[in-house]
């Protein structure tokens, strides 16, 4: 296979097709069906997905919960505005963060949020310019953060989110993500209930989504791209459901690229899963052989992103780009709050 270039995954996207607000009804998004073998497409509404799921199939959902990780505060000495984005919790109350403007926040700098309800000190600068920060507060961290933090919406969403819960899936359970697993935003409790009643198994896995998800691929040869690390966990119950579907010749259908990265990272060479937790830097691009996943429900991703490459690994680059160009022509809504695609 000839060397793949980042530019091979470019498509032209008019800015007005980037969805700025979530739909009133989650499951009313549009759904573009893509046949991964033939490249044939069909247009549906998301709630029609149930017609294409069969009894015995296993639907894999990521039940991570986004933390309100964006903190707006000031430097204690100068009163200058600072923005801190929580990326990863280290021991105690130390977090790896992204700070804007970084230059002003050297080790030793003191920060204050919410009129001093939350205080912090910059400890050190680590890789990629991220800062390790120690936070000081009274009471329960989650409650302090819930009161002060904002949802860390991706940079391409400029509208203010009216309801924090709309950037969470309805089944979000374990806090730890800096971004939502957005393919799951289309599911309502009613739709999930109907899917289970049809005899489809639902397996919940957890992967805490890092901001690296949005990081553009900056190298031309995609093999030189360094993937970000993300923590995942699979319970024995979820592993059993996924293995059972495989054993019975049924499909494993992942909801989102995060569920995909989880099961593909955790599987042994025979595609079997067991209870586990680890960090993964898996990078899935064309040429990758899927060990577990058979079909994928996902949103429309950024041009030249690792996520377009993952989708292309499943359905073929030409099929994916043709489908994306058709979605543009049909005025589908793109990215986090946008429409969905089902690749099978």
Q: Would the pLDDT of 1 be above 60?
A: no
**Arithmetic mean of pLDDT, 273-289:** 96
User: Do 184 and 249 share a domain, yes or no?
Assistant: yes
- What CATH number is attached to the domain comprising 100? 2.40.10.240
153 occurs within a structural domain: no
Q: Would the pLDDT of 143 be above 90?
A: yes
**Tokens encoding 106:** 């050297």
User: Do 168 and 136 share a domain, yes or no?
Assistant: no
Q: Which domain holds residue 170?
A: 6-66+163-343
d(CA 85, CA 15): 25
Where is the domain boundary, 93, 121, 148?
148
> Looking at residue 213, what is its pLDDT?
72
> Looking at residue 89, what is its pLDDT?
87
pLDDT band at 129 (very low <50, low <70, confident <90, very high): confident
User: Do 190 and 296 share a domain, yes or no?
Assistant: yes
Q: Which residue in this structure is represented by tokens 């791209």?
A: 225
**Arithmetic mean of pLDDT, 151-163:** 88
Q: Would the pLDDT of 216 be above 90?
A: no
- What CATH number is attached to the domain comprising 256? 3.40.1780.10
**Tokens encoding 301:** 């991703």
What is the total count of domains within the chain? Answer: 2
> Looking at residue 85, what is its pLDDT?
93
279 occurs within a structural domain: yes
154 occurs within a structural domain: no
Q: Would the pLDDT of 9 be above 80?
A: yes
> Looking at residue 284, what is its pLDDT?
97
Q: Would the pLDDT of 99 be above 70?
A: yes
**Arithmetic mean of pLDDT, 257-276:** 97
Q: Would the pLDDT of 273 be above 80?
A: yes
Average the pLDDT over each of 199-213, 214-228, 251-265 and give the range with the smallest value. 214-228
156 occurs within a structural domain: no
Using CA atoms, how far residue 264 sits from 178, 261, 284, 292, in Å, is: 21, 5, 9, 6
- Segment 59-94, tens digit of pLDDT: 999 999 999 999 999 999 999 999 999 988 889 899
Q: Would the pLDDT of 211 be above 80?
A: no
pTM to 2 decimals? Answer: 0.92
158 occurs within a structural domain: no
Percent of the chain with pLDDT over 90: 86
User: Do 262 and 221 share a domain, yes or no?
Assistant: yes
**Arithmetic mean of pLDDT, 182-201:** 98
> Looking at residue 2, what is its pLDDT?
63
> Looking at residue 40, what is its pLDDT?
98
pLDDT band at 42 (very low <50, low <70, confident <90, very high): very high
Q: Give the list of residues 6+ apart from residue 151 with CB closer than 8 angstroms, or none.
A: 66, 68, 69, 70, 161, 164, 167
- What are the backbone angles phi and psi of residue 298, rounded to the nearest 5°? -150, 165
User: Do 219 and 243 share a domain, yes or no?
Assistant: yes
User: Do 80 and 205 share a domain, yes or no?
Assistant: no
User: Do 167 and 116 share a domain, yes or no?
Assistant: no
User: Do 181 and 322 share a domain, yes or no?
Assistant: yes
> Looking at residue 295, what is its pLDDT?
98
**By the 8 A CB rule, do 179 and 337 touch?**
no
pLDDT band at 11 (very low <50, low <70, confident <90, very high): very high
User: Do 29 and 116 share a domain, yes or no?
Assistant: no
Where is the domain boundary, 113, 148, 183?
148
DSSP H helices, the chain, are 141-148, 189-197, 236-247, 256-266, 306-315, 317-329
- What 3-state DSSP class applies to 55? coil
pLDDT band at 344 (very low <50, low <70, confident <90, very high): very high
> How confident is the prediction for the chain on average, in pLDDT?
95
**By the 8 A CB rule, do 130 and 124 touch?**
no
Cis peptide before 101 (omega within 30 of 0): yes
Q: Would the pLDDT of 214 be above 70?
A: no
Average the pLDDT over each of 87-96, 169-178, 270-279 and give the range with the smallest value. 87-96
**Arithmetic mean of pLDDT, 301-326:** 97
**By the 8 A CB rule, do 62 and 262 touch?**
yes
User: Do 179 and 208 share a domain, yes or no?
Assistant: yes
232 occurs within a structural domain: yes
């Amino acid at each position: 296979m000839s060397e793949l270039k980042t530019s091979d995954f470019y498509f032209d996207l008019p800015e007005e097709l980037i969805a700025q607000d979530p739909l009133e009804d989650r499951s009313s998004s549009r759904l573009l069906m893509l046949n991964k073998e033939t490249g044939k497409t069909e247009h549906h509404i998301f709630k029609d997905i149930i017609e294409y799921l069969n009894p015995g199939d296993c639907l894999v959902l990521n039940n991570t919960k986004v933390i309100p990780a964006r903190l707006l505060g000031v430097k204690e000495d100068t009163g200058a505005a600072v923005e801190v984005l929580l990326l990863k919790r280290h021991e105690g109350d130390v977090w790896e963060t992204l700070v804007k403007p970084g230059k002003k926040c050297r080790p030793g700098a003191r920060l204050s949020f919410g009129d001093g309800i939350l205080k912090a000190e910059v400890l050190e600068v680590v890789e990629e310019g991220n800062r390790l920060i120690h936070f000081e507060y009274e009471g329960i961290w989650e409650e302090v953060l819930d009161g002060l933090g904002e949802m860390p919406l991706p940079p391409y969403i400029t509208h203010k989110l009216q309801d924090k819960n709309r950037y969470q899936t309805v089944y979000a359970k374990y806090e730890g993500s800096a971004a939502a697993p957005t393919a799951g935003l289309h599911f309502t409790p009613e739709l999930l209930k109907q899917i289970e009643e049809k005899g489809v198994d639902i397996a919940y896995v957890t992967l805490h989504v890092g901001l690296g998800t949005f990081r553009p691929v900056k190298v031309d040869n995609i093999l030189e791209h360094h993937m970000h690390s993300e923590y995942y966990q699979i319970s024995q119950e979820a592993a059993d459901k996924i293995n059972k579907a495989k054993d019975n010749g049924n499909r494993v259908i992942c909801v989102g690229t995060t569920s995909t990265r989880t099961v593909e990272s955790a599987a042994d060479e025979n595609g079997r899963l067991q209870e586990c937790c680890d960090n993964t830097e898996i990078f899935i691009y064309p040429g990758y052989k899927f060990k577990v996943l058979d079909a994928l429900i996902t949103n429309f991703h950024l041009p030249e992103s690792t996520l377009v490459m993952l989708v292309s690994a499943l359905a073929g680059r030409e099929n994916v780009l043709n489908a994306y160009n058709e979605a543009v022509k049909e005025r589908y809504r793109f990215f986090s709050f946008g429409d969905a695609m089902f690749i099978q």
